[in-house]
Structure formats: structure tokens, C-alpha cells
Amino acid sequence: MNHTIKNYSCFFSAALLVMLFTTACGNKSKNNATALSARVYPVQEMTKQTAILESVFPVTLRGEEDAEIKPRVNGYIDKVYIEEGTVVKKGQPLFSINSPMSEQDLASAKSALERANSSLNTARLNVERIRPLAEKNIVSGVQLQTYENAYSAAQAAHEEARVALRAAQATSGWTTVTSPIDGIVGSIPYRSGNMVTNATTLTTISKTQTTYAYFSLNERALASLLETLEGDTQTEKINNIPEVSLLLANGTTYPEKGKITAISGIVNSQTGAISLRANFPNKNGTLRSGASGRIAIPRELNDVFVIPQKATFTQQDKVVLYKVVKDAANESDSTVQTIISVLPLPDGKHYAVTSGLSEGERIVVDGIATLGNARKIKTQ
């Protein structure tokens, strides 16, 4: 008997716990529902406006002129007159090359000219000596002609020696390497004591007052870009491309705007890409040849809706939002899940809606994580 009473007592205790748990859960669900029904959701009414999109492409920067500096003589670097990053003028000395071969060629040319002078003087004296004798028929005319021919040959040899000396002097002058343009000195891989040849690149001088940004588009992207521009010819369309921005490698935007000025007429057969060039002013020398970055080409979109990205979520690769509709029965607001087509705007926080919404419609712009389809809500 006591055993039976004990079992009943356990049963009633368990039942009591179940009732308490069910009541607590019911109250919690009721409280959550009450909280959701009391929440007021912000909405945005759709009005058409203009939005600016940006197409971004990687670029490589080059100077207006990039001159590779190579010695014109073989030898050893004797002196380096400049440092990397130095601004130089046209004709300014950059390197001094110790070239024994050039010195030897100059000495040989001087000696050859001296020998040619001696030969020319001797030949002239012979002609001056023989001509009176030939006129008096003391020696034959053939002998005079022989000496005159020798004199002509000596004159030619003398002129050849003079030309060779000028060439040797010019070559000797090449031992001082000068800048062919105004610009900025690039890297200097070889220093004093290094042996160099006329195939060695000592440095690069870049004229960067105007910097070129080179980038590529495939044929479809280029056609899409040109379709949005006014003009009958490609040249007219290029002139109508809006000014572009340059995004530097450190994440900042270059303060000066650029202009696309050239499109290559050749398609790369391997990549299908077409090269384009944008010009950026660079008076302060901020941009360096060889640097990388990204170019942003703006495109204007008319008659679109701009919405915050936080008003949307993705569902099976579709962009979805909650449109707010009025319930005709009791005139309350309720939600309708709506798929839209969008384009991201440059600020990273907004979308331009290209389809899925109409003018005057309202959408929920915040708190969408707490919503579902056909949910009655309060709006503000």
C-alpha cells in the first residue's frame, strides 16, 4: 500500500513540472509575439532618382616618357652622380664610366692622324718636286701622275684618320652618361666598380608630369561602355567618357581626376582584351612609374530606386526585401517578400534597384531579421 502511494506521489510531481514548463513556454511565446506586434518598422517610399555606378579595373602606371639609361661604351662604373628618386634635367650627368678601350681607341686615332699628316706632307712634297721636272720633260708624265695619285690617296687617308679621331673623341665623351629627358630617377642596380656593357640598363628616367594608367577590357565590356556614350565615331565616344578616378595601392583615392584618351586598335589574341590608357596630371610627383592601382569609371543610371543594402537579404542567390502592402480588410500593413534586381553602388551601403519595385511602393528598411512573409506590422 505504501509503495502504491509513493508511485502516485511521483506521478503527480512529474505532471506538475510539465504543467509549469508548458505555462512558462506559453507565456514566453506570448510575450515575444506581443513584443513583435508592438514594434514599429521604418519604411521607405520608392521615388526614382539618378545613381552613379563605378566599374573598377586594375591599372599599371607609366610615365609620359620612360627612358632606359644604358652606357654606349663598355667599362667599369667610376662614379654615380645621382640617387634613386632624384629629379634630373635633360643633359645632367648621371654616371661616369671608366672605359680603357675608349681611351686606347682615342690614343690610336690620334696616332693614326699624325701618321696620315706625315704621309700627306710627303706626298705633297713629292708632287711639288716632280711637277717642274715633268714640265721640262726631265721626268715622264707617267711618273708625275704616279705621285699625284699617291697624293690623292694620302689626302683620302688623312680625311679618314680625321673622321676616326672625331669618332674616338665622341666615344670618349660617352664615358659620361647623361639624362636624355627631364624626369625622376628610378632604381640604380649597379654602383661604382660594377662592370657594364652597352646592353646594361643602369637606371630608368621617367617623365611623370603626366602619368599614364594602362588597363584592359574585354570586347564585351568595351562595347557595353561605348554603347552608353554619345558620339558617332570611337574618337567622339572617347571624348565623352566621364572623368575617371584612380584608387592607389594604399587604399586612398588620388585627388586629381583622369581622362581616358586612347583605346588600342588591336585585340590581344590570347586574352581577348583591349588596352586603354587614361592620363592623370602629376605635377607634385605623387605617382611613380611602375606603380599599380585601380581605375574607377563612373556610369550614370537614370530612373532607378536607391535603397540601403540592410533592407535586403539573399535567398537562393536572389536578392529579397519586404514590401509593405495595405490589407484592404482592416487597413493594416503587412509584408510581402519581393525579389528584386540590383546593382551595388560605390559606397558599399546602397543598391540601385533596376527591377522588382514600382514608384510609390514602400519597403521595410530596418529590422528585417525579425520579419516573415505576410506578417502584420506597424510602420512609421
Q: Picking from 54-63, 261-270, 300-309, which range would have the lowest pLDDT averaged per residue?
A: 261-270
49 bridge partner residues: 304
Number of other CB atoms surrounding residue 178 within 10 Å: 16
CATH number of 66-196: 2.40.50.100
pLDDT for 36 beyond 80: no
Backbone angles phi, psi at 149, to 5 degrees: -65, -40
CATH class of the domain whose range is 41-52+302-379: mainly beta
Tell me, letter by letter, the H, E, C secondary structure of the chain.
CHHHHHHHHHHHHHHHHHHHHHHHHHHHHHHHHHHHHHCEECEEECCCEEEEEEEEEEEEEEEEEEEEECCCCCEEEEEECCCCCCEECCCCEEEEEECHHHHHHHHHHHHHHHHHHHHHHHHHHHHHHHHHHHHCCCCCHHHHHHHHHHHHHHHHHHHHHHHHHHHHHHHHHCCEEECCCCEEECCCCCCCCCEECCCCCCEEEEEEEEEEEEEEEEHHHHHHHHHCCCCCCHHHHHHCCCCEEEEECCCCECCCCEEEEEEEEEECCCCCEEEEEEEEECCCCCCCCCCEEEEEEEEEEEEEEEEEHHHEEEECCEEEEEEEEECCCCCCEEEEEEEEEEEECCCCCEEEEEECCCCCCEEECCCHHHCCCCCEEEEC
Across the chain, what does the average pLDDT equal?
86
pTM of the predicted model as reported, rounded to 2 decimal places: 0.60
pLDDT for 139 beyond 50: yes
CA angle 157–162–166, rounded 5-degree value:
145
> Per residue in 239-269, pLDDT tens?
888 899 999 999 899 999 999 998 887 888 7
pLDDT winner (highest mean) among 15-19, 68-72, 230-234, 239-243: 68-72
Look up the CATH architecture of domain 55-63+208-301: Beta Barrel (2.40)
What is the distance between the alpha carbons of residues 61 and 291, in angstroms, rounded to a whole number?
Answer: 5
Backbone angles phi, psi at 35, to 5 degrees: -65, -45
The 8 Å CB, 24+ separation contacts for 235-240 are 238/262, 238/263
What is the distance between the alpha carbons of residues 88 and 69, in angstroms, rounded to a whole number?
Answer: 13
Q: Picking from 109-123, 136-150, 175-189, 263-277, which range would have the lowest pLDDT averaged per residue?
A: 263-277
